[in-house]
Amino acid sequence: MIITIDGPAGSGKSTAARHLAERLGLAYLDTGAMYRAVTLRALRQEVDLTDGDALTHCAAGAALSLRYDDGRLRVLLDGQDVSEAIRSVEVTDNSHYLASTPGVRDVLVALQRRAAGDLGDVVTEGRDQGSVVFPDATVKFFLVADPDVRARRRYDELRAKGQDVGFDAVRDAMAARDRRDAGRDVAPLVRPDGAIEVDTTGLSIEQVIDVLARHVEAAR
């Protein structure tokens, strides 16, 4: 069984995917962490972010793996734990270069499909999981939320990690990212065919998981 959860930044898809997988006893695949990891690699190697061939080469050469220790995601890049480093503002602001590069997406989509095959029953989240990577998934979800609520979630997350950011800057950056994600030529952010849309604006995480779990159980 493959369950996909797509949606824009701040819609709650990562938290929902992790908790849904935990409740149902399934594996969890965070594909956004993969894009962040190769973005970090490109930044560290000072790769020209507008050079698609160079970015593809960078992604193809990455030794990337995801592990879970007591339910916590650990991202290993070239033998180093980069779980915190990939959540920086710099990585967030530049990940769209990698996400919009066809060669990079080919590398990571292949990796995601292999990972899902190895894991078996899995909950996977991202921006193109139900539309591109797993179009035949058993259940597809598309999470949405009010833009200000999404920005507040991201702001609170960054502040909790000690990052000095302003709410307006976070909101503006998120709006710009929404436009890029929806308008890119390669795998734009769309509601996948057959996806169940869930608005998480006024819901607690427990309520969101209840909604998702009911749909999954009905599909089993």
What residues make up the domain containing 1?
1-26+121-220
What CATH number does the domain containing 93 carry? Answer: 3.40.50.300
Q: Which of 81, 111, 141 is the last residue of a domain?
A: 111
Tens digits of per-residue pLDDT, 178-199? 888 888 888 888 999 999 999 9
Query: Do residues 215 and 142 share a domain?
Result: yes
Position 71 confidence tier, pLDDT thresholds 50, 70, 90: low
Count: domains in the chain: 2
Whether residue 93 has pLDDT greater than 80: yes
- Reported for 50-59, long-range contacts at CB under 8 A and 24+ positions apart, including other chains, are 50/97, 52/101, 52/102, 52/103, 52/104, 53/103, 55/97, 55/98, 55/101, 55/103, 55/104, 56/101, 56/103, 56/104, 56/106, 56/107, 59/98, 59/103, 59/104, 59/107, 59/108
- Token pair listed for 80: 């180093």
Q: Does 116 reside within a domain? A: no
Query: Do residues 129 and 168 share a domain?
Result: yes
Give the pLDDT confidence score for residue 152 in this predicted structure.
94
Q: Which of 76, 91, 111 is the last residue of a domain?
A: 111
Query: Do residues 131 and 63 share a domain?
Result: no
Query: Do residues 165 and 92 share a domain?
Result: no
